[in-house]
Amino acid sequence: MKPINVGLLGIGTVGGGTFRVLQRNSEEISRRAGCEIRMTVVADKDVARAKAVVGNAARVTADANEVVNDPEIDIVVELIGGYGVAKDLMLKAIATGKHVVTANKALLALHGNEIFAAARAKGVTVCFEAAVGGGIPIIKSLREGLTANRIEWIAGIINGTSNFILSEMRDKGAAFAEVLKEAQSMGYAEADPTFDIEGVDAAHKLSIMAAIGFGIPVQFGKAHVEGISRLTQEDIRYAEELGYRIKLLGIAKRKPAGFELRVHPTLIPARQLIANVEGVMNAILVKGDAVGQTMYYGAGAGAEPTASAVVADLVDVARMLTADPEHRVPHLAFQPDRLSDAPILPMGEVETSNYLRLRVEDKAGVLADITRILAVEGISIEALVQKEPSAGEKQVDIILLTHLAQEKKIDAAIARIEALPVVFGKITRIRMEALK
């Protein structure tokens, strides 16, 4: 199958991540896409920086027009950002019949209707999964996964910078200005943080999601936009006392008279799952009339999470260009002739930490016997809790948490411990997962 050639405009953080992911996972990606996807040319004003990233793997040019006009290029990835040059180049790429992948939410929020119309007229597609929620496939979920539904509302934590600041204000009891400085020093907030902290970035993303969810044009200009810069420690504390958390939410809601479109700090019940989304993470809650509430959670920014969305769009276009329509997406995601025959491991080979509960005689030396058996099997103990015996009881519960150990070693240790005369009945074993 002919490879798909990609040209990149702008190799900053996300561009570098995209290049890296395409390189590192090229095998995995071509097994899914059914063809190779290769980045053959990169345009960046800073040619030296671009060369440092791509080495000899792609041609580097300072002239973006060279990419847009290159007849060998199938897809142009626009990661320049902003409304000026990026818009011109995107429209030129469309005019020359190229598909476009972009992460540029600001541009789409302001000029999306015009850009999409141009793409449609030219018979090309503009993909923008990376524009909202970083690596979370929220655009795909809304456009394709929830098509059965009348969407009632969308509410999202869609700006990681402001969520990080709110999380820190709550955790550390610090003031807004102080946490903003910390966020800037950690690279979570830009030198000019206005778009993030004043809700503009969230409103860009919200206006795109609202369009897709409700079937309305992109209408950023009509959104109510309010940020977090005036929030105080007192409000965060009072909200907490009343059972709420304060989050900067982008909210789009269907009403009989029209649609609400607003970004503002919001008190939400602390028991809600989305209230517990902390730090730079994003989450979008979508209410559909059939499906009820669904939530999509993940990293909303960063080089590789955003690259994940850019590359997913590239695979989408590649599948469209090369596969038979009815097998655009292979049943099992990967091409049937490229499935792996790596084995499913037998359970004995599986490694987990373990929770063990034992009932033992309440006398000296019991713990020594048990820990010796674990040591012999090479199982190390993370925690051991001996419960107080009830009045008059001669038996106590012991809870053991182990470090990672192979299942077969745990099985062997359990059998040997159960055989001890001081141990009563069976040991309860429950596996543990840190989910990291």
205 is a catalytic site residue: yes
CB atoms within 10 A of CB 81: 18
Among candidate residues 270, 271, 295, 276, the one with its CA nearest the CA of residue 284: 295
Nearer to its own copies, 106 or 251 (CB): 251
Residues 6+ away with beta carbon under 8 Å from 265: 166, 226, 227, 228, 231, 246, 247, 248, 249
Nearer to its own copies, 377 or 407 (CB): 407
In degrees rounded to 5, what are phi and psi of residue 197?
-80, -20
CB atoms within 10 A of CB 309: 28
Nearer to its own copies, 136 or 370 (CB): 136
3-state secondary structure 148-169: CCCEEEEEEECCHHHHHHHHHH
H or E element: which one contains 201?
helix 200-214
- Structure token digits, residue 380: 């190390």
Minimum distance from residue 357 beta carbon to its own copies (Å) = 6
Q: How far apart are CA 394 and CA 380, in angstroms?
A: 27
Nearer to its own copies, 33 or 158 (CB): 33
Minimum distance from residue 323 beta carbon to its own copies (Å) = 9
Minimum distance from residue 169 beta carbon to its own copies (Å) = 13
3-state secondary structure 5-48: EEEEECCCHHHHHHHHHHHHCHHHHHHHHCCCEEEEEEECCCHH
Cβ atoms of 314 and 307 within 8 Å: the answer is no
CB atoms within 10 A of CB 400: 24
Beta bridge partners of 207: none
Nearer to its own copies, 328 or 416 (CB): 328
- Structure token digits, residue 145: 């996964």
Minimum distance from residue 63 beta carbon to its own copies (Å) = 27
Q: How far apart are CA 222 and CA 203, in angstroms?
A: 10
Burial readout 133-159 (b: 16 or more C-beta within 10 A, e: otherwise) = bbbbbbbbbbeebbeebebbbbbbbbb
Nearer to its own copies, 179 or 236 (CB): 236
Cβ atoms of 263 and 206 within 8 Å: the answer is yes
Minimum distance from residue 17 beta carbon to its own copies (Å) = 8
Minimum distance from residue 62 beta carbon to its own copies (Å) = 27
Q: How far apart are CA 206 and CA 284, in angstroms?
A: 10
Question: Given 205, 363, 408, 409, which residue is catalytic?
Answer: 205
Three-state DSSP class for 374? helix
Minimum distance from residue 365 beta carbon to its own copies (Å) = 23
CB atoms within 10 A of CB 256: 4
Please count the residues of the chain: 436
Nearer to its own copies, 99 or 204 (CB): 99
Nearer to its own copies, 163 or 308 (CB): 308
Minimum distance from residue 192 beta carbon to its own copies (Å) = 25
Amino acid at 289: D
Distance, CA of 84 to chain centre: 28
Q: Which residues are catalytic?
A: 205
